[in-house]
Structure 1
Amino acid sequence: MIKSMIVIQMYKVVSLSYGAKITTNFINLVLLLTVLSLLSPATEAQQHRLGTASCPNTTTFTINSTYQANRDTLLSSLSSNVTRGVFFYNTTAGKSPDMVYGLFLCRGDISTRACQACVIYAATHISRRCPLDKTAVVWYEECFLRYSNRNIFSVVTETPTIYFLSGRSSIVTISEEDRFEQFVLKVINETIAMAESRPAGVSKYVTRFENISSFQTLYIKVDCTPDLSGADCGRCLRRARAYIPAGRQGGRAFNPSCNVRYEFNPFFNLTAVAALPAKGGEKHIKLNRIRILITSLSVIFGVAVVFISGFFIWRRNSEDKENIHEVQLLDLENEHSKETFSGENWERSQEFPSIQLDILHAATDHFSDENKLGEGGFGPVYKGTLANGKEIAVKRLSRTSGQGLVEFKNEVLLIARLQHKNLVRLLGCCLEKNEKLLVYEFMPNRSLDVFLFDSNLATQLDWQKRFNIIKGIARGIMYLHEDSRLRIIHRDLKASNVLLDHKMNPKISDFGMARIFCEDINQANTNRVVGT
């Protein structure tokens, strides 16, 4: 009897947030059942019978109505789906305006069998507790179940909020009551934050225990329906926590969307919690995965659209710029065109031929690797044979070339106007379909560096041949510096830019870096680093 009185004093219903009053007889009944459960340990199948129901009576339906039939169908569906082993499930029954929404949620630390027993019991008895209500919710120790005529999925519902409080704390290891309350509040808020960090579709069931001293431990449990977002769950739990002061020996608060509880005695299964997976509602987990997948695909699609659009805009601008340059270069075919280069105006004296692209494709076998002679800063060079049997060398501007249109134009303008036996002869050019090609006379012995840096080929260069090559290069340079109509500085003279014909006569090539000077100028400053 004394133990019963102590329990009755410790647990008392304080309030219902929407103002509903619980009768004294009902309170006594709940407390009496609590005492009996403490005096004689109950099985899992019996514990769920200790429940609290909310029947607002604000909206009701008539007996044998369509809404009642839909509600009964919904409760039957909830009972049948709990046997699938899920701890959270929501569904609907019927069509508007008589559609019924319903769900159940089991505690995360109980067994599947206990969850099934609780939900089946709740589905059977909620219609007896709230026979004509369109909205109802019932809470048990292991689960809660609710239904409504309004959509309750992924929506926070904070009314009614029911809370229970234990007696004042008498913990002697924490002398100051303020410090004790701050400690309890801190741990509760940290536990709420853990649930808040979980996304929609994942279980929000979180437990925690903290040792206050060697003989006192604080136990905390928070939970939300898994269909809520982390932010909604955190907001719901904080508002529920506001109903239970931290300076008690325990307290709990629950509403249709979340619940929070703390005690100084273990009230959840510590073994089950230690190995607890992140259980969630099967239906909402799938929906959440679908939402995440759709969101991810939408983001990827949006980025792809922006990237592709940007690429085509860049490509079009590049083509426009290239077309402008091509128009400028094609002016070389005009007999009376004038060009401005490095501050010097000079008029073209002879026609410069343009060769069609299909002719060069046929001559080089579509620029096959077998015909590739080598590759420089400008791009690859291919050997070709024209229809009349004449051999040519085709230099192809690479899109990734370190040199570009300026160098291409430079070489065309210069070599077309230079005539010397020690300078390579430019036969023509091609500007079609974004291709920029220079056509030279073919040098069968390729470049000087091939002989100099190959130990076998170097033996073919006796002193007489070397001396002739040196004199030929000197004559070519002298022509560029002194004897041509323009004073030209090559600026990239090296062994790989000296080509050798079939008689090993040297010919200077690659005038992409060359610069023109007036006759009376013998020095100048460059604007950029050039050469190799």
Structure 2
Amino acid sequence: MGDSFPNFAKTTQLLLQCFFIANLLDLAYADPPYKVCSNISNQAANSSFQNNLKSLMSSLPSNASASKLYNISTGNDLERVYAQYMCLNYVTNESCSTCIGVASQDIMQLCPEDKEAVVWEELCQLRYSNQSFLGHLDVSGNIPLDNKKNVENPEQFRVIVNETLSSLTEQAAFNASEAMYATGEVVFTNTDTLYALVQCSTDLSPDDCSTCLRVAIANISSCCYASRGGRVLSRSCYLRYELYAFYEGANESAESPVAGKSNRRKIWMIIIVTVASALLVAVILGSYIYCLAMKKETKENTRQDGKCHGIGHSDLNDFQIRGFHRDDLIDRESPFMDLASIYAATDNFSDSNLLGQGGFGPVYKILIFRPGDEADQ
């Protein structure tokens, strides 16, 4: 009994140690650095290629303090080494230099005798090869990663992720001012905001950058679309999204995708309604002015038509009749002759003044007088 207890304690301690080591291995696998080695030997550890590689790797951190993207080569013919690093665009030059310093050590330890290798750290990536790869798109061996925690409504999340990454791809690849780098934030729920980042190696053409990122989107969509976060490690580009602000300069007050589209619709509706209203006001105002002008013209015409200018004689204006002045024949307020004037002008409708029969009755000759003259018979 006394011997069994120490054995049990040793067994328990051994199991705990194994569990701790297993967790360490799991953490080592889950966290950077991530690597891809060619498994093609450079023949000997002390070969010219290996010496050139060591020399080149030692020089990269100092270059990273001045530039976040850099490529270099050294050596001759078969021993020539080509290398390139890329830091994420939002990091400082100091952080870039530190990251490349770590990456140059990791790549030598993880792929010590390979003629080609690539290592991804948290903020940068570093690759080398015995063949020139500058300006060449390479999506072979892409590594999609997720954070193993899923969202509650994955299909809706997948749509928003794809739309956001596609929009950023167009921006990074074809907007020259962006230098093949773009970030974006979109509200997913009341409590969650999607943060996304895409970046290409600037030695690529815009079309190759777009292709690289679209392949990465397909990689992440096929493996990890329900995950709350994910990234794709590629030799030629980088893609990542999370439900937290993982990059510097992220805007915490992001725009909702639904609200964003709604706001754009509202802006267009405001523009359309404003223009239509302005046109309608112009039409109404023009019609009103036209009606006023027509009304004024009608009044002028009516006023002019109400005046009877000299009938049969150019010198007679304002309705003067021989033998009678206008004031004697016509009331100022009426266009008609009074009965007394008619009796006087027709000699009390004398038959001697009857001219004939018209459509409205007998027609009489009117005796016209000028003031001071005797009547004409």
96, 115, 126: which is aligned to 1:145?
A: 126
Amino acid at match of 2:204: L
Task: Give the aligned partner of residue 212 of structure 1.
Answer: 188
SS at match of 2:101: helix
Structure 1 residues 68 and 197: CA distance shift in structure 2, 3 A: same
The answer to whether structure 1 residue 188 and structure 2 residue 165 are counterparts is yes
Q: Who is 2:241 aligned against?
A: 262
Q: State whether residues 61 and 134 of structure 1, in contact with CA within 8 Å, keep that contact through their aligned partners in structure 2.
A: no
* 113 and 80 in structure 1: CA distance in 2 versus 1, 3 angstrom threshold: closer
Per-residue Cα deviation, 1:263-286 (whole angstroms, up to 9, x for no partner): 11111112699xxxxxxxxxxxxx
CA spacing shift, 1:113–1:178, aligned 2, 3 Å: same
Q: Superposed, which structure 2 residues align to 1:358-437 within 5 Å?
A: none
Change (3 A) 1:27 1:98: same
Displacement after TM superposition at 1:24 (Å): 9.6
The residue number in structure 1 matching 2:39 is 57
Alignment of 1:271-286 (within 5 A): none
2:162, 2:217 within 8 Å by CA — same for their partners in 1?
no
Task: Describe how 1:126-275 pairs up with structure 2 within 5 A.
Answer: 126-167=107-148, 169-171=150-152, 177-199=154-176, 203-245=179-221, 246-270=225-249
Partner Cα separation in structure 2 for residue 187 and residue 87 of structure 1: 25
Q: Which of 68, 73, 79 is residue 61 of structure 2 equivalent to?
A: 79
Q: Does the C-alpha gap of structure 1 residues 198 and 65 become closer, same or farther in structure 2, counting only changes over 3 Å?
A: farther
User: What is the one-letter code of the residue matched to 1:29?
Assistant: A
Judged with a 3 Å threshold, the aligned counterparts in structure 2 of structure 1 residues 132 and 271 are, in CA distance, closer, same or farther, namely same
Partner of 1:372: none
Q: Which amino acid aligns with 1:64?
A: N
For residues 46 and 197 of structure 2, the distance between their equivalents in structure 1, rounded to whole angstroms, comes to: 41
SS at structure 1 position matched to 2:77: coil
Describe the shift of the 1:270–1:230 C-alpha distance in structure 2 as closer, same or farther (beyond 3 A): same
Q: Secondary structure at the match of 2:63?
A: helix
Question: Counterpart in 2 of 1:323?
Answer: none
Q: Are residues 206 and 75 of structure 1, via their aligned partners in 2, closer, same or farther at CA, if it must alter by over 3 Å?
A: same
Change in 2 beyond 3 A, CA 1:170/1:78: closer
Whole-Å Cα distance in 2 between the matches of residues 161 and 141 of structure 1?
A: 16
8 Å CA contact 2:171, 2:178 repeated in 1: no
Q: How does 1:499-510 map to 2 (within 5 A)?
A: none
Q: Provide the aligned length of Structure 1 versus Structure 2.
A: 229
Aligned to 1:118: 99
Which residue is 1:384 aligned to?
A: none
Q: Report the equivalent of 2:284.
A: none
Tell me which amino acid in the other structure corresponds to 1:214. N
Q: Whose RCO is larger (CA < 8 A, sep 6+)? A: 2
Q: Secondary structure at the match of 2:53?
A: helix
Q: TM-score, normalised by structure 1?
A: 0.40
SS in 1 for 2:103: helix
Gaps of 5+ in 1: 1-22, 35-49, 274-532
Contact 2:172 2:178 in 1 (8 A): no
Alignment-derived partner of residue 30 in structure 1:
29
Q: Do the aligned residues in 2 keep the contact of 1:109 with 1:272 (CA within 8 Å)?
A: no
Deviates more, 1:217-226 or 1:240-249: 240-249
Q: Hey, what's the Cα distance between the residues in 2 that align with 1:224 and 1:26?
A: 31
Conserved 8 A contact 1:203-1:225: no
2:204 and 2:244 map into 1 onto residues whose CA distance is 29
- Alpha-carbon contact 1:53-1:139 (below 8 Å) kept: yes
Structure 1 runs (4+) deviating above 3 angstroms are 23-28, 166-171, 177-180
Larger Rg: 2
SS in 1 for 2:62: helix
Deviations 1:142-196 (A, max 9, x none): 111110011111111112211112346434xxx6x53432222111111111111
* CA distance in structure 2 between the partners assigned to 1:204 and 1:71 by the alignment: 28
Q: CA RMSD in A?
A: 2.6
Partners of 1:220 and 1:261 within 8 A in 2? yes
Q: Secondary structure at the match of 2:127?
A: strand
**Cα gap change, 1:202 to 1:179, in 2 (>3 Å):** closer
State the Cα distance separating 1:250 from its structure 2 match. 1.6
State the one-letter code of the partner of 1:180: F
Aligned partners of 2:39 and 2:114 also within 8 Å: yes
Shift of 1:223: 1.0
Q: Relative to structure 1, is the Cα distance of residues 127 and 169 closer, same or farther in structure 2, using a 3 angstrom cutoff?
A: closer
Write the distance in 2 (CA, Å) between the matches of 1:209 and 1:123: 33
1:244 is paired with a residue of what secondary structure?
helix
Task: Report % sequence identity.
Answer: 30
Provide the TM-score with structure 2 as the length reference. Answer: 0.56
Contact 1:55 1:137 in 2 (8 A): yes
Letter in 1 for 2:133: I
Q: 1-side partners of 2:36 and 2:23: how far apart? A: 16
- C-alpha distance in 2 between matches for 1:125 and 1:272: 33
- In 2, distance between residues paired with 1:86 and 1:29? 29
Q: What residue is the counterpart of 2:255 in the other structure?
A: none
Note if contact 2:42-2:50 (Cα within 8 Å) is conserved in structure 1.
no
> By how many angstroms is 1:123 displaced?
1.4
Between the aligned partners of 1:255 and 1:26, the Cα distance in structure 2 is 24
Query: In the alignment, what sits opposite 1:520?
Result: none
Cα distance per residue 1:186-238 (max 9 Å; x no partner):
11111111111145x97322111111233221111111111111110110111
Contact 1:110–1:272 (Cα < 8 Å) also in 2: no
Residue identity in the other structure for 1:211? V
Q: Are residues 59 and 234 of structure 1, via their aligned partners in 2, closer, same or farther at CA, if it must alter by over 3 Å?
A: farther
Per the alignment, do residues 91 and 170 of structure 1 end up closer, same or farther by CA in structure 2, a change over 3 Å counting?
Answer: closer
Q: Assess if the C-alpha contact under 8 Å between 1:202 and 1:226 holds in 2.
A: no
- SS of equivalent to 1:189: helix
